[in-house]
């Protein structure tokens, strides 16, 4: 069966095997695994490679951040280039890319229309709560949203000031929600 696209939607567990398969598919004739094209040059990539999450790091219960899909993407590109001499063309979606924030904004508007019986047709203020300055805060700032950076994930104060300055830094999501409600006079 020919494969036309690879969609990476989460963090990988077996990078070696998955990089091997994607690289083989990038070299395959007509998307058929186990075949090899002779024309692998620039502009000849037949397989679409789409990443939904560009985060290099993500936070967890572990004391230090873990490598995410962005690290997997970097590894794939470097290994494929070293093995074949050719770059991988990747379509990147997700935070901090504009289309992600535009889509979220449109979904908020649709939800407000639905719950208000069509009375509300726009969103005046949007607040992004996130733990990663490089994706959550950078994207929110670019979208002209308020941004709250929580200390419960990738970002920790011990790292120094964040690479992208949020509207406010809070201890956790609850503190962020409380701040937003107080700011709007709802608490």
Per-residue pLDDT of 86-130, as tens digits, reads: 999 999 998 998 889 999 999 999 999 999 998 888 888 899 999
Mean pLDDT over residues 9-30, rounded?
Answer: 89
Residue 42: predicted pLDDT:
54
Domain that holds residue 9: 5-92
Asked whether 81 and 40 are in contact (CB, 8 A), the reply is no
Q: Is residue 76 left, alpha or beta, with left meaning phi > 0 and alpha meaning psi from -120 to 50?
A: alpha
Asked whether residue 129 falls in the same domain as residue 165, the answer is yes
* Residue after which a domain boundary falls, among 92, 121, 146: 92
Q: Is residue 5's pLDDT more than 60?
A: yes
Residue 41: predicted pLDDT:
64
Per-residue pLDDT of 36-84, as tens digits, reads: 988 776 568 889 999 988 888 888 788 888 898 899 999 999 999 999 9
Which has the closest alpha carbon to 143: 131, 127, 154, 129? 127
Confidence of residue 177 (pLDDT cuts 50, 70, 90): very high
What 3-state DSSP class applies to 170?
strand
User: What are the helix (H) ranges across the chain?
Assistant: 15-27, 69-84, 98-116, 138-142, 173-183
Asked whether residue 126 falls in the same domain as residue 151, the answer is yes
Per-residue pLDDT of 6-19, as tens digits, reads: 999 876 679 999 99
Output the domain CATH number for residue 21: 3.40.50.1000
Residue 55: predicted pLDDT:
86
Residue 91: predicted pLDDT:
93
Asked whether 119 and 109 are in contact (CB, 8 A), the reply is no
* Residue after which a domain boundary falls, among 62, 92, 122: 92
Residue 37: predicted pLDDT:
87
Residue 11: predicted pLDDT:
67
* Residue after which a domain boundary falls, among 45, 73, 92: 92
Asked whether residue 175 falls in the same domain as residue 110, the answer is yes
């Amino acid at each position: 069966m020919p494969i036309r696209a690879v969609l990476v939607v989460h963090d990988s567990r077996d990078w070696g095997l998955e990089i091997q398969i994607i690289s083989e598919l990038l070299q395959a004739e007509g998307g058929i695994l186990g075949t090899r094209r002779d024309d692998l040059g620039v502009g000849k990539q037949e397989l679409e490679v789409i990443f939904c999450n560009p985060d290099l790091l993500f936070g967890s219960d572990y004391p230090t951040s873990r490598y995410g899909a962005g690290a997997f993407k970097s590894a794939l590109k470097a290994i494929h280039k070293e093995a074949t001499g050719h770059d991988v063309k990747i379509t990147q979606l997700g935070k901090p890319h504009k289309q992600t924030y535009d889509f979220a904004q449109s979904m908020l508007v649709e939800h407000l229309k639905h719950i208000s019986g069509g009375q509300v047709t726009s969103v005046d203020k949007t607040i992004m709560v996130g733990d990663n300055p490089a994706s959550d805060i950078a994207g929110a700032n670019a979208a002209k949203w308020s941004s709250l950076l929580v200390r419960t994930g990738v970002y920790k104060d011990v790292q120094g000031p964040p690479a992208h300055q949020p509207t406010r830094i809070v201890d956790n999501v609850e503190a962020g929600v409380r701040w937003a409600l107080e700011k709007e006079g709802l608490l």
